[in-house]
Amino acid sequence: MLSGCGGQSGSGDVTLKLVAADYDIAGGNTTKTYWHNVVADFEKKNPNIKVDVQIFSWDVVDAKVAEMVKAGNAPDVAQIGAYSDYAASGKLYSVDQLLSIPVEANFLAPLADAGNVKRVQYGMPFVASTRLLFYNQTLFEQAHIKPPTTWAEIASDAKALKAKGVKTPFALPLGSEEAQAETMMWMLSGNGGYTNTVDGYDIDSPENIQTFDWLKTNLVEPELTGPVAPAKLNRQAAFDAFAKGDVGMLNGHPSLMEQAKKKGIKFGMVPLPGPNGQAKAAMGVADWIMGFKQSGHRAQIGKFLDFAFSDDNVLKFADQYDLLPSTVSASSAMAADSKHKELKPFLAALPTSELPPVGKTSWPKVSETVKKKIGTAVAPGGSPKAVLQDIAKVAMDAENAE
């Protein structure tokens, strides 16, 4: 029995519209094939419900859904990057209106919490990822150093790598592509974060200022970062340089494993350490799926999403793209499978990870501001305190405008 049933008899033929993001970075049809198979299996079991699927690239999928919603033609289900604006404007079903209780209860806690707006869950985590510190084993062996367990060891390892002629001892991508993620990783490792314990922004906290002071003084000014200035370095360029063997250390997610392996790079992974040892949490990220109210297909959407979140479907998708399952049962199954042993450190970090404050409708504005400004905090003549205060003011203004 669906916990969210009501207002729909479920009888009669219904066609659900599903819009989803394309995860196939090679330009193939693997995402389309995945959804085709899920839909075919679902329609066999539910002959009165059809599902029409549209796949768009990540570059445009959020904008496409926004256009559909604005035109009064919202999809029934969207699998995209953000949900909070739609939730705040009353366009989404809450999760308890859609999913059966066992499926709703199966999401990993940090991911479910990140799907909340004002303590009600609207965003369902589709897939997840965490970040670890990658290091080039060959370069470390040549420099006779061990993986770092503290910030001081990161700095000393970077110096040793530089002395051995390594082009980029530490890659610090604070460029526009994904600076908000790199920033959060370092904030968490310094016992800070974007928000405080009551979920208010705390961007210019003493802990965050201290973190960026440390980065500027101990990594950037001694010229231990590269291959270009942090403000100009994007994540993919950093990953590419690591896969060439030019980078000693950087923060990465599971897809970097495959990229490095294809290039024959021997690497290891450890949690990004804090000033005195293990950081309080790793950064987690999730992509989201949501159900729109407009067509009134609550019962049918719920049936489809219950099916989509079966272990078999969740594991197939996560496995295909080196991502992490968003559910407890699928995570346990992946951890128990020896073919996924390299993902175990990422899986272990996920249940206690912290996610960006994606439930805040102000977050997109804050995230964009971080991307534009945070690199200047560690640039020559830059002031971490001043830059973090500037970003904090944008955050406060965005919150007050809600």
The one-letter amino acid code at 335 reads: A
- For tokens 């019962």, the residue is 299
Burial of residue 227, with CB atoms counted within 10 A of its CB: 0-12 exposed, 13-18 middle, 19 or more buried: middle
Strand 247-252 versus strand 168-171 pairing type: parallel
Coil, strand, or helix at residue 274? strand
Which pLDDT score, from 0 to 100, does residue 34 have?
A: 97
Q: Give the integer Cα–Cα distance in Å for 352 and 241.
A: 30
- For tokens 């993919």, the residue is 236
Q: Using one digit for the tens of pLDDT, what is the confidence trace for 186-240?
A: 999 999 999 987 778 999 999 999 999 999 999 999 999 999 999 999 998 999 9
Q: Which residues contact 278 (CB under 8 A, 6 or more apart)?
A: 149, 271
Q: Concatenated DSSP letters for 163-198? A: HTT-SEEEE---STTTHHHHHHHHHHHTT--SB-TT
Which pLDDT score, from 0 to 100, does residue 25 have?
A: 73
Bridge partners for 53 per DSSP: 18
Bridge partners for 135 per DSSP: 249, 268
Cα dist. 393→198, 202, 246, 385 in Å?
Answer: 18, 10, 38, 12
Coil, strand, or helix at residue 285? strand
Which pLDDT score, from 0 to 100, does residue 86 have?
A: 95
N- to C-terminal Cα distance for the chain?
37
Structure tokens at 335: 């951890």
Structure tokens at 282: 């790793």
Neighbours of 381 (CB within 10 A): 5
Confidence check: pLDDT of 2 > 80: no
Bridge partners for 136 per DSSP: 267
Strand 116-117 versus strand 284-291 pairing type: unpaired
- Give the alpha-carbon dihedral of 323, 325, 331, 337, to 10 degrees: -50
Q: Give the integer Cα–Cα distance in Å for 142 and 240.
A: 21
The one-letter amino acid code at 172 reads: L
- At 9, the pLDDT band (50, 70, 90 cuts) reads very low
Strand order in the sheet with 284-291: 49-57, 14-22, 77-80, 284-291, 124-130, 324-325
The one-letter amino acid code at 162 reads: K
Bridge partners for 22 per DSSP: 57
Confidence check: pLDDT of 280 > 90: no
Q: Give the integer Cα–Cα distance in Å for 318 and 7.
A: 34
Average pLDDT value for residue range 77-103: 95
Q: Using one digit for the tens of pLDDT, what is the confidence trace for 296-325?
A: 999 999 999 999 999 999 999 999 988 999
Q: Using one digit for the tens of pLDDT, what is the confidence trace for 135-176?
A: 999 999 999 999 999 999 999 999 999 999 999 999 999 998
Q: Give the integer Cα–Cα distance in Å for 286 and 83.
A: 11
Which pLDDT score, from 0 to 100, does residue 8 have?
A: 39
Q: Using one digit for the tens of pLDDT, what is the confidence trace for 344-355?
A: 899 988 888 999
Confidence check: pLDDT of 10 > 60: no
- At 12, the pLDDT band (50, 70, 90 cuts) reads low
Q: Give the integer Cα–Cα distance in Å for 392 and 3.
A: 40
Bridge partners for 121 per DSSP: 116
Cα 261 from chain centre: 22
Average pLDDT over all residues of the chain? 92
Q: Using one digit for the tens of pLDDT, what is the confidence trace for 238-267?
A: 999 999 999 999 999 888 998 899 999 999
Q: Give the integer Cα–Cα distance in Å for 376 and 386.
A: 10
Strand order in the sheet with 247-252: 225-226, 168-171, 247-252, 132-136, 267-270
Question: What pTM was computed for the model?
Answer: 0.85
Largest Cα separation within the chain, whole Å, is 72
